[in-house]
């Protein structure tokens, strides 16, 4: 295929594309609006993308009104506090479409967000249209190719769940075009600009675009006549220089991002999730990808949604001499799809995600247009070998999906459209009117309509919020309860209790772990519009937060959600400064309420006032034991001592001491045990005493009982289960099937009146079920129950590409007990062999603890002020100690005491602190500057100056040559 840059008029081409895009929107997103749904899904879009765009708009407007103050660099609205620039740069700062939100007022922000998503999709199709216009394709073939491009599995998923990923589909055609421009001896400036925008829009996807561009360059270079000629190398040198300049010009964004990634937990994971091969489920899904689908699972395996794909692929291979580059790309793609190590490498050397397959959307959509355009030239004899190979592949598809995966609801419409395509194409050899553009367009658009709306439960319409609910869930996740907490006196205040003069002026909020805000289930994130909240759900996280979670074995810890609600552990929430907790009303019986949090507007939970919430009524709970944001602590221990403590003792001593690396000139405290170890005996279902160090579990319904001798002596404490040294041996697929057969009704050939299933049939069903579930995998779960409260420690499966990390230990909060029950129960969530250590611990909430908290509150930073990228206040000390905090440590913080610069230290291995060795009044000031931002801006300015000089020099040279000629 010849890539031509001959001049042409594209007005009609772009005009026709606009009409096709409008029809595309009506057939896809229009269905959602028809039924009153928004394009805001109840997971990533609700929890990340919409709040980020709204918050960023607020930051921009504030900056524009106060230019002298500079942009906001530290935000208290991101979990415990985080670098706003580093967090937002992954999503939005370099995205030019995001700035369109400035055109919308507050009332229409959600409408603006959805329209911006459609604008991105429009430009993705427009970019393809521009790219395809360089080939010998008719306008209608280009339009259909653009529709196929927009309906790829990646495009549909991204537009609904990860909107900014669509930018990659805009940049990909421009990148390939820019490479081709230089290869043909034209200007290299465009290539540099594409490189620049690829990186600043999203550095993660830019890595994949770079690999795709390099692959295209190598394959295309091999096809050029005289590839080693001097001019070829000269063109390559120009491309390299332009690309390097474009890359260096991104330093204003990439340098701070590199600093952030050095501590980000997302990049501290096992390569390829420790996998050498995929599961059988994945390999059986590969043939189905050739049929065309809208799925991105497992492992982001994505292709086109139109079911003509199989015929296009076979036809392309049949004409491999004419389309060598495309065929080589297909073969290379097939090879790279076979092993996790390839996917992990292409995913930035992390998890084995096949997101990179979006790169194939471009050649596949282009070849679809080529294929449809040449249909009129084909005869019946041309179709025979195509149908022969297609039939072989189709048999594999039927075996893998119909029989093994049992996905009839997906396969039937795919097969139907494949048969319709085949029928129309064959009959079209004798009735050419069936191959007219109008007929083919109707067929392709009908296919897209069915694929988008019916072929994948992942895009079920019920995952999207009704138009009226989205705004309330984003701006008021706790309903009107937050307004009441801010404006109304508490029940205690109404009954004469005065607020302590030492009560912290800065307080965070959270919700209990089973708090439900949307139909998707429990909320896992921090809502940016709700003030300081403990939880945050972002791809770039401060490593300090995850460090604290790991040190205290937070079982809710995830790579994108380092804190969440910290398993409702009372002393930890106090330490983090959480004053207000929000719960659903009426209070569910399985709520694990931290002991020192009491009803805010009532004497008892039953009398606590309820407030309106978008997904049901809400109640507020409050504590007086919340720590100040910064406080003076005279009692310290070394990090070495801190690390030797078990995780419950670390929690129990948060108010007692602070851990620091260097204890010189500080008062080191000798610790006494703060928690109580509770002995137990464990019994299996047959009442045999067993040990957790060797459990061969063959039935997920088995329950183990922990008997507590002398339970009455353990009173007034929060119960913890400390689980360490977890080793899980997953059964092989054969072992898992045999286990399932043991639990099937057809064992030993006996029939069950309920199912009438033989053992052989039960084994076959077990095989299908285990394969469809991705067995074998490393996932396991250990659950423990105390009354109504059940808590679990689990290993994420390898298929969870964003959150997977190896889990070997954790602490389970089993709730407050006035008196310890005689027994607890345990269940294992996956069959297999388990070995772990289990210790039951009680953490009392005593008056001694209350006094420790009151001492810290009294020593809190006075006149605390959270300014623009700074914190100020004062504290008076009588002895040496440390100014401790719950501010996540970052190299961007700089501290002064009484106007003198001092070294910032880490407290409790995760938070910002200052050593104070001189008594007296200390004026404290902390200033924050995004690490690498200033240097990056200066470097970008230098590169920009160099680019300007080179551009002027080149322009001068051309003018000189033109004048001379």
Instruction: Output the six-digit token pair for 830.
Output: 């996956």
Band the pLDDT of 620: cuts 50, 70, 90. very high
SS3 content of the chain, % helix, strand, coil (to 5): 50, 20, 35
SS3 of residue 815 by DSSP: strand
Distance CA 351, CA 266 (A): 9
Distance CA 383, CA 372 (A): 14
**DSSP-derived pairing of the beta strands 870-877 and 920-928:** antiparallel
SS3 of residue 262 by DSSP: coil
* Burial class of residue 376, CB neighbours in 10 A (0-12, 13-18, 19+): exposed
The per-residue pLDDT for 794 is: 95
User: C-alpha distances in angstroms, 608 versus 530, 569, 603, 930?
Assistant: 22, 22, 7, 43
Torsion over CA: 413, 418, 421, 426 (sign)? negative
CA atoms within 13 A on the CB side of 351: 23
As a whole number, the mean pLDDT across the chain is: 90
- Helix 139-150 / helix 11-27 crossing angle, nearest 10 deg: 40
Give tens-digit pLDDT for 510-531: 999 988 865 444 443 444 445 6
Q: In b/e form, how buried is each residue of 603-615, taking b as 16+ CB within 10 angstroms?
A: eebeebbbbebbb
Instruction: Work out the average pLDDT over 573-586.
Output: 95
Closest CA to 299 of 350, 260, 261: 350
Whether pLDDT at 502 is above 70: yes
Whether pLDDT at 699 is above 80: no
135: how many CB neighbours lie within 10 A of its CB? 17
The per-residue pLDDT for 831 is: 84
User: C-alpha distances in angstroms, 945 versus 939, 948, 949, 950, 951?
Assistant: 10, 5, 6, 9, 10
Q: How many residues does the chain have?
A: 965
Which residues touch 371 (CB under 8 Å, ≥6 apart)?
A: 308, 311, 312, 315, 316
φ and ψ at residue 485, rounded to 5 degrees: -60, -35
In this predicted model, which residue has the larger pLDDT, 958 or 220? Answer: 220
DSSP secondary structure of 350-392: SS---GGGGGGHHHHHHHHHHHHHTGGG--HHHHHHHHHHHHH
Residue that the structure tokens 């430009």 belong to: 123
Whether pLDDT at 745 is above 60: no
DSSP designation for 669: P
How many distinct helices (H) and strands (E) make up the chain? 32, 33
% residues pLDDT > 90 (the chain)? 68
Torsion over CA: 704, 709, 711, 713 (sign)? negative
The per-residue pLDDT for 165 is: 95
Whether pLDDT at 760 is above 80: no
The per-residue pLDDT for 408 is: 61
* Burial class of residue 206, CB neighbours in 10 A (0-12, 13-18, 19+): buried
Give tens-digit pLDDT for 104-157: 998 899 999 999 999 999 999 999 999 999 999 999 999 999 999 999 999 999
Distance CA 340, CA 272 (A): 6
Residues 397/290, Cβ–Cβ less than 8 Å: yes
Instruction: Work out the average pLDDT over 180-186.
Output: 94
- DSSP H/E element including 447: helix 437-454
Whether pLDDT at 476 is above 90: no
Q: pTM value? A: 0.92
Distance CA 473, CA 465 (A): 9
Distance CA 822, CA 233 (A): 80
User: C-alpha distances in angstroms, 630 versus 112, 506, 686, 915?
Assistant: 39, 10, 54, 13
Distance CA 95, CA 837 (A): 49
The per-residue pLDDT for 518 is: 59
Residues 750/253, Cβ–Cβ less than 8 Å: no
Whether pLDDT at 53 is above 70: yes
Chain mean position to CA 933: 25
Instruction: Output the six-digit token pair for 364.
Output: 């596949």
């Amino acid at each position: 295929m010849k890539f031509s840059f001959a001049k042409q008029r594209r007005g009609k081409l772009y005009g026709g594309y606009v009409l096709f895009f409008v029809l595309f929107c009506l057939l896809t997103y229009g269905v959602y609006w028809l039924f009153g749904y928004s394009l805001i899904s109840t997971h990533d879009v609700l929890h990340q993308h919409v709040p980020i765009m709204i918050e960023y708009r607020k930051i921009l407007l504030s900056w524009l009104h106060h230019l002298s103050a500079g942009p906001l660099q530290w935000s208290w609205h991101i979990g415990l506090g985080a670098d706003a620039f580093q967090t937002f740069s992954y999503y939005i700062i370099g995205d030019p479409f995001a700035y369109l939100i400035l055109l919308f007022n507050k009332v229409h922000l959600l409408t603006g967000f959805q329209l911006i998503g459609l604008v991105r999709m429009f430009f993705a199709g427009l970019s393809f249209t521009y790219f395809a216009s360089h080939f010998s394709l008719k306008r209608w073939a280009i339009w259909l190719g653009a529709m196929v491009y927009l309906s790829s599995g990646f495009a549909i998923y991204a537009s609904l769940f990860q909107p900014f990923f669509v930018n990659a589909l805009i940049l990909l055609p421009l990148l390939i075009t820019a490479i081709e421009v230089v290869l043909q001896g034209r200007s290299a400036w465009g290539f540099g600009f594409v490189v620049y925008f690829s990186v600043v829009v999203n550095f993660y996807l830019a890595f994949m675009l770079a690999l795709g561009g390099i692959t295209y360059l190598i394959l295309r270079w091999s096809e050029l006549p005289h590839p080693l000629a001097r001019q070829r190398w000269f063109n390559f040198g120009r491309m390299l220089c332009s690309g390097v300049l474009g890359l260096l010009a991104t330093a204003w964004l990439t340098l701070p991002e590199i600093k952030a990634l050095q501590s980000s937990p997302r990049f501290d994971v096992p390569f390829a999730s420790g996998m050498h091969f995929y599961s059988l489920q994945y390999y059986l899904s590969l043939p189905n990808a050739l049929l065309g689908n809208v799925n991105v699972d497992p492992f982001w395996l994505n292709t086109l949604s139109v079911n003509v794909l199989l015929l296009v692929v076979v036809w392309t291979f049949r004409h491999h001499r004419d389309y060598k580059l495309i065929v080589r790309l297909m073969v290379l793609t097939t090879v790279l799809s076979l092993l996790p190590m390839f996917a992990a490498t292409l995913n930035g050397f992390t998890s084995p995600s096949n997101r990179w397959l979006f790169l194939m959307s471009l050649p596949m959509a282009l070849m679809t247009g080529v294929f449809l355009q040449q249909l009129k030239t084909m005869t019946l004899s041309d179709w025979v070998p195509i149908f022969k190979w297609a039939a072989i592949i189709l048999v594999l598809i039927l075996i893998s999906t119909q029989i093994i995966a049992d996905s009839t609801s997906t396969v039937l419409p795919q097969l139907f459209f494949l048969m319709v395509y085949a029928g129309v194409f064959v009959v079209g050899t004798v009735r050419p009117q069936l191959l007219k553009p109008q007929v083919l367009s109707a067929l392709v658009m009908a296919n897209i309509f069915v694929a988008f709306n019916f072929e994948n439960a992942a895009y079920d319409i019920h995952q999207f919020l009704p138009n009226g609910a989205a705004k309330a869930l984003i701006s008021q996740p706790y309903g009107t309860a937050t307004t009441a907490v801010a404006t109304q006196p508490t029940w205690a205040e109404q009954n004469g209790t005065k607020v302590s003069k030492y009560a912290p002026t800065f307080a965070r909020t959270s919700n209990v772990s089973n708090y439900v805000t949307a139909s998707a289930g429990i909320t896992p994130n921090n809502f940016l519009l709700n003030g300081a909240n403990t939880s945050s759900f972002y791809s770039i996280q401060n490593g300090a937060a995850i460090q604290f979670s790991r040190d205290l074995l937070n079982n809710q810890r995830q790579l994108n959600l380092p804190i969440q609600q910290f398993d409702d552990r009372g002393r930890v929430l106090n330490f983090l400064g959480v004053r207000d907790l929000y719960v659903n009303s009426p209070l569910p019986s399985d709520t694990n309420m931290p002991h020192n949090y009491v009803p805010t507007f009532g004497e008892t939970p039953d009398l606590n006032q309820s407030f309106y919430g978008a997904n049901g009524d809400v109640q507020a709970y409050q504590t007086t034991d919340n720590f100040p944001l910064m406080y003076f602590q005279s009692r310290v221990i070394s990090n070495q001592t801190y690390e030797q403590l078990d995780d419950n003792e670390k929690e129990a001593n948060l108010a007692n001491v602070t851990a620091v690396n260097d204890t010189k000139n500080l008062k080191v405290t000798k610790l006494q045990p703060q928690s109580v170890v509770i002995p137990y005996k464990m019994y299996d279902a047959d009442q045999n005493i067993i040990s957790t160090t060797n459990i061969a579990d063959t039935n997920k319904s088995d329950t183990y009982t922990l008997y507590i001798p002398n339970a009455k002596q353990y009173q007034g404490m929060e119960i913890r289960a400390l689980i360490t040294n977890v080793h899980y041996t997953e059964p092989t697929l054969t072992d898992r099937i045999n286990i399932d057969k043991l639990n099937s009704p057809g064992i030993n050939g006996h029939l069950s009146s309920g199912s009438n299933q033989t053992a052989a049939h039960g084994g076959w069903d077990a095989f299908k079920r285990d394969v469809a579930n991705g067995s074998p995998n490393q996932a396991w779960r250990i659950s423990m129950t105390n009354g109504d409260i059940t808590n679990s420690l689990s290993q994420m499966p390898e298929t969870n590409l964003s959150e997977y990390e190896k889990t070997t230990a954790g602490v389970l909060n089993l709730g407050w007990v006035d008196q310890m029950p005689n027994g607890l129960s345990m269940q294992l969530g996956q069959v297999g062999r388990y070995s772990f250590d289990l210790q039951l611990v009680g953490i009392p909430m005593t008056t001694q603890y209350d006094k420790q908290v009151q001492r810290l509150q009294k020593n809190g930073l006075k006149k605390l002020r959270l300014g623009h990228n700074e914190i100020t206040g004062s504290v008076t000390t009588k002895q040496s100690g440390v100014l401790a905090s719950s501010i996540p440590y970052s190299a961007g913080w700089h501290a002064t005491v009484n106007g003198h610069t001092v070294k910032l230290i880490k407290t409790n291995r995760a938070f910002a602190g200052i050593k104070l060795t001189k008594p007296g009044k200390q004026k404290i000031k902390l200033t924050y500057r995004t690490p690498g931002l200033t240097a990056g801006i200066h470097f970008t300015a230098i590169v920009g100056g160099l680019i300007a000089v080179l551009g002027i020099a080149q322009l001068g040279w051309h003018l000189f040559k033109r004048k001379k000629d």
